[in-house]
């Protein structure tokens, strides 16, 4: 057999019907993750056609996007403040009950951001196909799964058939070699990759992150990298599973057990790109060159090493429009720019290691006067772990607002928003205009840089505080 990439292998193993010039492949879906925002219309379609959810055992639902993060609203002592969000939450509860889907609902101890809880439960496993009505489904590719976001019509297709019609994307090798310098993390790495290939550089491709740097990352760091594959326009991002992956999954509630575990690991070990396999495109990144990164514009590709000055292109309308929105000018330094809000959380950087990184800087320090620091754990489990480890106490002592889990200020659907014109230093994934609230100005950074900036009250280099 011809040499194959990791992506080729996972794709081939899920082709129910191969593609032809006239028809796309029928691709089987092992795991379908569902949440309250992109499913209501799909359930309505099922209802109107008299269809069931065909494989509820391969479907998992939670609520995360529009849910409150304030404890009294989550646990029901006061109503959810945003009415439309409350309706959407209730509708998912009704739909899950009607269609027999397992739901980690509002007060469930396993609830959290969909892309955080599936790995943490061991539902996400190497070699799977995983879809969700959410573009950050690419996160699960960190396990060697083929995972991608779909629209609501396709959510309905998967509910009804457990399969999707898909054309096979092309493959793109992102080779990263060397050691990340001190104070530089997975978020800086992925921002730097997006800066290099551009926000549409990955369109039509599945990325495979490869090389010694990738192998040296923890699972949580790998998830941060794969999470933002979509910000380069890619359909998905993948990494070959290895001992780090297996150790992460061992003993997780829904990971295979006993003999089934041994068989699974043996199968998972085959999920590597063959030595002489060819990619359709590639890029080489030297990890040693990467610095803490910060975005300066209105898409994640407008990104710089933190010590740099904003470029000053002439006659570039995209750049000029972004500068007007951000209130910045070409030639200005990023360091020292003012900060109003700092958000630490999201499916990109809301995991325990991210909170530990923030705590390294916040321990024994205070948030600068006038700065609001919101820290939102990615799941209720992470919240409990952070509290048990004393991180929550460090955050509160520093003056941070420590919340229940959810997507929160990443997209501001639940009322956690940044005010118009305010600068938000955020560990989330998108700095689009208005992403965190109408008129909000977002700068994407790592948890270390976010925490350092909260303490200084200005955009700060974390290497000075660690």
Partner 1 sequence: MQPIRRITGRTVVIASSDIDTDQIIPARFLTTTGKEGLGKQLFADWRYQADGSPKADFILNRPEAHGADILVAGRNFGCGSSREHAPWALMDYGFRAVISTEIADIFRGNSLKNGLLPVVVDERTAQWLLQHPGTQVDIDLESAHLTLPTGTTVSFPIEPFARHCLLNGVDELGYLRSKLGDIERFEASQAAS
Cβ-based nearer residue to partner 1, 333 or 420: 420
- Max Cα distance, the chain (Å): 64
Strands 163-166 and 146-149: unpaired
Nearest C-alpha neighbor of 414 from the set 39, 133, 69, 35: 69
Binding partner 1 (rule: CB under 8 A), the pick from 65, 111, 210, 441 is 65
Residue 162 binding partner 1, by CB under 8 A: yes
Min. distance of Cβ 42 from partner 1 in angstroms? 9
Residue 233 binding partner 1, by CB under 8 A: yes
Binding partner 1 (rule: CB under 8 A), the pick from 176, 411, 425, 460 is 411
Binding partner 1 (rule: CB under 8 A), the pick from 4, 11, 33, 38 is 38
Min. distance of Cβ 89 from partner 1 in angstroms? 10
Cβ-based nearer residue to partner 1, 396 or 438: 438
Binding partner 1 (rule: CB under 8 A), the pick from 56, 165, 283, 365 is 165
Min. distance of Cβ 352 from partner 1 in angstroms? 26
* DSSP SS3 for 227: helix
Residue 163 binding partner 1, by CB under 8 A: yes
Report angle CA 327, 463, 372 to the nearest 5 degrees: 50
Residues listed for the chain: 466
According to DSSP, residue 438 is labeled T
Binding partner 1 (rule: CB under 8 A), the pick from 6, 10, 31, 37 is 37
Min. distance of Cβ 298 from partner 1 in angstroms? 8
Strands 303-305 and 293-295: antiparallel
**Which residue carries 């929160």 as its tokens?**
408
Residues 378-407 that bind partner 1 (CB under 8 A): none
State how far the Cα of 249 lies from the Cα of 115, in Å rounded to an integer.
15
Q: In whole angstroms, how far apart are CA 245 and each of 64, 141, 350, 406? A: 25, 11, 19, 25
Concatenated DSSP letters of 150-216? --HHHHHHHHHHSEEEEPPPEEEEEEEESPPPTT--HHHHHHHHHHHH-TTTTBTEEEEEESHHHHT
Beta bridge partners, 131, equal 32, 148
Applying CB under 8 A, which part among 85-93, 288-296, 386-394, 456-464 lies near partner 1? 85-93
State how far the Cα of 234 lies from the Cα of 205, in Å rounded to an integer.
5
Residue 276 binding partner 1, by CB under 8 A: no
Residue 18 binding partner 1, by CB under 8 A: no
Residue 28 binding partner 1, by CB under 8 A: yes
State how far the Cα of 413 lies from the Cα of 366, in Å rounded to an integer.
29
Convert residues 336-375 into a mask of x (bound to partner 1 by CB under 8 A) and - (unbound). ----------------------------------------
Applying CB under 8 A, which part among 187-195, 228-236, 345-353, 449-457 lies near partner 1? 228-236
Min. distance of Cβ 63 from partner 1 in angstroms? 12
State how far the Cα of 435 lies from the Cα of 454, in Å rounded to an integer.
20
Residues 87-106 that bind partner 1 (CB under 8 A): 87-88, 91
State how far the Cα of 98 lies from the Cα of 96, in Å rounded to an integer.
6
Applying CB under 8 A, which part among 43-51, 98-106, 240-248, 368-376 lies near partner 1? 43-51
Cβ-based nearer residue to partner 1, 233 or 241: 233
State how far the Cα of 389 lies from the Cα of 266, in Å rounded to an integer.
35
State how far the Cα of 288 lies from the Cα of 179, in Å rounded to an integer.
5
Helix, strand and coil percent figures for the chain, each rounded to 5: 40, 20, 45
Cβ-based nearer residue to partner 1, 276 or 317: 317
Cβ-based nearer residue to partner 1, 161 or 340: 161
* DSSP SS3 for 264: helix
Residue 432 binding partner 1, by CB under 8 A: yes
Cβ-based nearer residue to partner 1, 36 or 188: 36
Nearest C-alpha neighbor of 5 from the set 246, 248, 236: 236
Min. distance of Cβ 367 from partner 1 in angstroms? 26
Binding partner 1 (rule: CB under 8 A), the pick from 8, 160, 175, 269 is 160
- How many residues bind partner 1 (CB under 8 A)? The answer is 65
Applying CB under 8 A, which part among 164-172, 216-224, 240-248, 304-312 lies near partner 1? 164-172
* DSSP SS3 for 346: helix
| CB 312, CB 395: distance < 8 Å | no
Min. distance of Cβ 365 from partner 1 in angstroms? 32
What's the chain's Rg over C-alpha atoms? 21
Residues 108-147 that bind partner 1 (CB under 8 A): 133-135
State how far the Cα of 118 lies from the Cα of 31, in Å rounded to an integer.
10
Which residues in this chain contact partner 1 in the complex, by CB under 8 A?
A: 16-17, 21-24, 26, 28, 37-38, 40-41, 44-45, 49, 65-66, 82, 84-85, 87-88, 91, 133-135, 149-154, 156-157, 160-165, 167, 169, 199-200, 203-204, 230, 233, 235, 299, 301, 317-318, 321, 411-413, 420, 430, 432-435, 438-439
């Amino acid at each position: 057999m011809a040499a194959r990439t990791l992506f080729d292998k996972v794709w081939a193993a899920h082709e129910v019907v191969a593609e032809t010039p006239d028809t796309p492949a029928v691709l089987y879906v092992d795991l379908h993750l569902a949440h309250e925002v992109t499913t209501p219309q799909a359930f309505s379609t099922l209802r109107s056609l008299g269809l069931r959810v065909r494989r509820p055992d391969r479907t998992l639902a939670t609520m995360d996007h529009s849910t409150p993060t304030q404890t009294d609203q989550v646990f029901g002592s006061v109503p959810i403040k945003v009415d439309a969000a409350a309706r959407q939450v209730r509708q998912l509860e009704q739909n899950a009950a009607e269609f027999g889907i397992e739901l980690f609902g509002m007060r469930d101890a396993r609830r959290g951001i969909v892309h955080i809880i599936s790995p943490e439960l061991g539902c996400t496993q190497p070699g799977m196909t995983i879809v969700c009505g959410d573009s950050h489904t690419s996160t699960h590719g960190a396990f060697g799964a083929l995972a991608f976001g779909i629209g609501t019509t396709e959510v309905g297709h998967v509910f009804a058939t457990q399969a999707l019609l898909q054309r096979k994307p092309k493959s793109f090798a992102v080779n990263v070699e060397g050691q990340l310098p001190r104070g530089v993390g997975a978020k800086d790495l992925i921002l730097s990759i997006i800066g290099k290939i551009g926000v549409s550089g990955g369109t039509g491709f599945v990325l495979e992150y490869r090389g010694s740097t990738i192998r040296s990352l923890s699972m949580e760091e790998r998830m941060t990298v794969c999470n933002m594959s979509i910000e380069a326009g890619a359909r998905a991002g993948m990494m070959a599973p290895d001992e780090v992956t297996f150790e992460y999954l061992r003993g997780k509630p829904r990971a295979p057990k006993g003999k089934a575990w041994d068989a699974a690991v043996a199968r998972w070990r085959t999920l590597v790109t063959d030595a002489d396999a060819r990619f359709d495109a590639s890029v080489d990144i030297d990890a040693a060159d990467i610095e803490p990164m910060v975005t300066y514009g209105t898409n994640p590709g407008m990104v710089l090493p933190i010590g740099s000055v904003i470029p000053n292109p002439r006659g570039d309308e995209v750049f000029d429009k972004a500068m007007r929105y951000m209130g910045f000018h070409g030639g200005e330094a990023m360091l020292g720019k003012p900060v109003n809000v700092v958000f630490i959380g999201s499916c990109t950087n809301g995991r325990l290691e991210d909170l530990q990184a923030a705590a390294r800087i916040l321990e024994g320090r205070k948030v600068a006067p006038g700065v609001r620091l919101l820290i939102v754990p990615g799941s209720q489990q992470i919240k409990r772990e952070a509290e048990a480890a004393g991180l929550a106490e460090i955050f509160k002592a520093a003056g941070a607002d420590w919340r229940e889990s959810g997507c929160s200020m990443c997209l501001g659907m639940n009322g956690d928003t940044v005010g118009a014109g305010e600068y938000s230093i955020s560990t989330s994934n998108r700095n689009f205009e208005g992403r965190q609230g109408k008129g909000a100005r977002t700068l994407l950074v790592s948890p270390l840089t976010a925490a350092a900036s909260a303490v200084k009250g200005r955009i700060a280099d974390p290497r000075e505080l660690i």
